Amino acid sequence: MNTLGEDARNHGTAVGLSVDQITINGGKPLRGRIELKGAKNLVTKAMVAAVLGETPSVLKDVPNISDVRIVRGLLEVHGVRVVEGLEEGELIFDPSNVESAHFADIDAHAGSSRIPILFCGPLLHRLGEAFIPDLGGCRIGDRPIDFHLEVLRKFGAIVEKLPSGIRMSAPNGLKGAKVELPYPSVGATEQVLLTAVRAEGITELKGAAIEPEIMDLINILQKMGAIITVDTDRVIRIEGVERLDGYTHRALFDRNEAASWASAALATDGDIFVGGARQSEMLTFLNVFRKVGGQFEIHDDGIRFWHPGTPLNPVFIETDVHPGFMTDWQQPLVVALTQAHGVSIVHETVYEQRFGFVDALVEMGAEIQVHKDCLGGQACRFGQRNFQHSAIISGPRKLHGADIEVPDLRGGFSHLIAALSAEGPSTVSNVGIIARGYENFIGKLQQLGADFVLEG
Ligand SMILES: CC(=O)N[C@H]1[C@@H](OP(=O)(O)OP(=O)(O)OC[C@H]2O[C@@H](n3ccc(=O)[nH]c3=O)[C@H](O)[C@@H]2O)O[C@H](CO)[C@@H](O)[C@@H]1O
Ligand SMILES: C=C(OP(=O)(O)O)C(=O)O
């Protein structure tokens, strides 16, 4: 297992980031325009979907982030030829050699992403077997895969847990199934979709997640030849088909990156135009942003976010599955809430341990207490289980520079924002982890006028 530092360096290096730490002279508003590419949480799944096609697929707006690099490596190990297209950010996947690939090397390619588990359905269809190494992803809770394994068993897969990972086989092929998820898990919903599209017969999924990235994956699968119906009550029906072809698709924009830069504009008294952001996938975020006092303007080619110049308001936020307030938006926004006049509450109901990042903010002068009770709203799955999953943020508190270490992807971005809004210099280490999900974040900070130096 990598140490956090090695992990961070590996992510950074994978996308050409040769530094591990950044010293920021805070207190300067971020101003300017940046451009988004496709969503990390869609692009990586779209890449897996390419394995299901009999012909090549073309994906546009693929960001240069380390999670994409990891999935590209996995595809190559499985015999998918991946080449860059003519347009910047375009990748072409040719899956015609999947059957003849030898994937002894797979463990080395697992990296620290959660995507390997989604290869199960496509590989079982094509090869009758799959091997899944240990998964990575952000350390923000236990992150079990019980729903995934249960779903695969329902389709007829035989699941064997080995010390090195999970081996699966489907000697009799995969058959459509009736599935009900205990919680609308994004990954488990994608698992059902990627398995059911080529399973024999009809699959009915109840309790599905309906995040925009899932809807875009459904768009892709439909382009490939799948038959998928989405009802309004979290029920998805899939009629299995015998053959799928490749797709050509421009990935949905990264709404999590958009929300992160919006929070950066608010926390630094700045004004950022986020090119490529769209209103409809961000409705819930925009409502909260407005309640805090943030200003925004919707344009055809993006959304402009800026600080109002007057005091920010405290808010109550409960993170939730879509269409609720996305958990990945919480960490960057908390930094802006340290500057609101009054007491804000954030109740995290999706992950049990997503407040590790606040220790650094407290060291920088923020007043934040974390509690194990479900504060402010409804009781959630974590209320009785001693997890510190609610936060009380009292503001405004002046942040001052400090030496801080990035704990995870969104926590890392929130640390960058804190350093940018603090008075005096801060050194933020392990910044490579941020490259898991933010393309060229150093270049974007430069474009927005941030004052920093990079260190090796
Ligand atoms: C690569 C990707 O798309 N990551 C996103 C995806 O993660 P991911 O797909 O891993 O998240 P899930 O929606 O599956 O997880 C939500 C909750 O369900 C629980 N759970 C999940 C699966 C399972 O088998 N058993 C189980 O108990 C998890 O521990 C968590 O408490 O959705 C999350 C929720 O919107 C986002 O924060 C992540 O950015
Ligand atoms: C939790 C996240 O990602 P992952 O599921 O890839 O760890 C995230 O994007 O904030």
Note whether 216 and 134 are same-domain residues.
Answer: yes
Note whether 274 and 397 are same-domain residues.
Answer: yes
Note whether 229 and 267 are same-domain residues.
Answer: no
Note whether 237 and 358 are same-domain residues.
Answer: no
- Ligand 2 centre to CA of 194 (Å) is 19
Amino acid residing at 196: A
Q: In ligand 2, which atom is closest to the CA atom of 410?
A: 10
Asked if 50 contacts 57 with a C-beta cutoff of 8 angstroms, the reply is yes
* Res 2: pLDDT: 41
Q: Which ligand is nearest to the CA of 332?
A: 2
Confidence of residue 1 (pLDDT cuts 50, 70, 90): very low
Number of other CB atoms surrounding residue 343 within 10 Å: 14
Query: What is the phi/psi pair of residue 180, to 5°?
Result: -130, 120
Question: How many domains does one find in the chain?
Answer: 2
Q: In ligand 1, which atom is closest to the CA atom of 352?
A: 31
Residue at a domain's end among 189, 215, 250: 250
Residue at a domain's end among 233, 250, 267: 250
- Report which of 168, 111, 158 is spatially closest to residue 136, judged by C-alpha positions: 111
Note whether 397 and 436 are same-domain residues.
Answer: yes
Residue where the block lists tokens 């269409």? 323
Note whether 145 and 283 are same-domain residues.
Answer: no
User: Range of 291's domain?
Assistant: 4-36+253-455
Cα 260 from Cα 318, distance rounded (Å) = 17
- Ligand 2 centre to CA of 443 (Å) is 22
368: which strand partners? 393
Q: Which residue has the least CA distance to atom 32 on ligand 1? A: 186
- Ligand 1 centre to CA of 350 (Å) is 8
- Report which of 107, 95, 155 is spatially closest to residue 131, judged by C-alpha positions: 107
Residue at a domain's end among 191, 222, 250: 250
Helix (H, G, I), strand (E, B) or coil at 134: coil
Taking only the tens place, the pLDDT of each residue in 134-175 is 777 777 888 899 999 999 999 999 999 888 888 999 999 999
Q: Which ligand is nearest to the CA of 187?
A: 1
- Report which of 182, 53, 143 is spatially closest to residue 353, judged by C-alpha positions: 143
β-strands 21-25, 452-455: how paired? antiparallel
Taking only the tens place, the pLDDT of each residue in 11-70 is 777 777 777 899 999 999 999 999 999 999 999 999 999 999 999 999 999 999 999 999
Q: With a 6 A CB cut-off, is 436 part of the ligand 1 pocket?
A: no
374 classed as catalytic? no
Note whether 20 and 58 are same-domain residues.
Answer: no
Note whether 113 and 227 are same-domain residues.
Answer: yes
Global pTM reads: 0.96
Asked if 139 contacts 175 with a C-beta cutoff of 8 angstroms, the reply is no
Sign of the C-alpha dihedral computed for residues 326, 442, 303 and 292 taken in this order: positive
Q: In ligand 2, which atom is closest to the CA atom of 138?
A: 7
Average pLDDT, the chain: 94
Residue 344 vs residues 51, 158, 195, 363: alpha-carbon distances, Å: 45, 48, 42, 19
- The CATH number covering residue 440 comes to 3.65.10.10
Note whether 399 and 334 are same-domain residues.
Answer: yes
Residue where the block lists tokens 């240069």? 64
Note whether 265 and 240 are same-domain residues.
Answer: no
Taking only the tens place, the pLDDT of each residue in 203-218 is 999 999 999 999 999 9
- Ligand 2 centre to CA of 70 (Å) is 14
Q: In ligand 2, which atom is closest to the CA atom of 351?
A: 1
Binding residue ranges for UDP-N-acetyl-alpha-D-glucosamine: 114, 328, 350
Q: Which residue has the least CA distance to atom 22 on ligand 1? A: 145
Q: What is the DSSP letter of 175?
A: B
Which of 138, 350, 413 gets mutated to test ligand 1 (max ligand atoms within 8 A of its CB)? 350
The two tokens of residue 184 are 């609308």
- Report which of 334, 352, 351 is spatially closest to residue 343, judged by C-alpha positions: 334
Looking at 185-229, list the stretches that DSSP marks H as alpha helix, in order from N- to C-terminal side: 186-196, 212-224
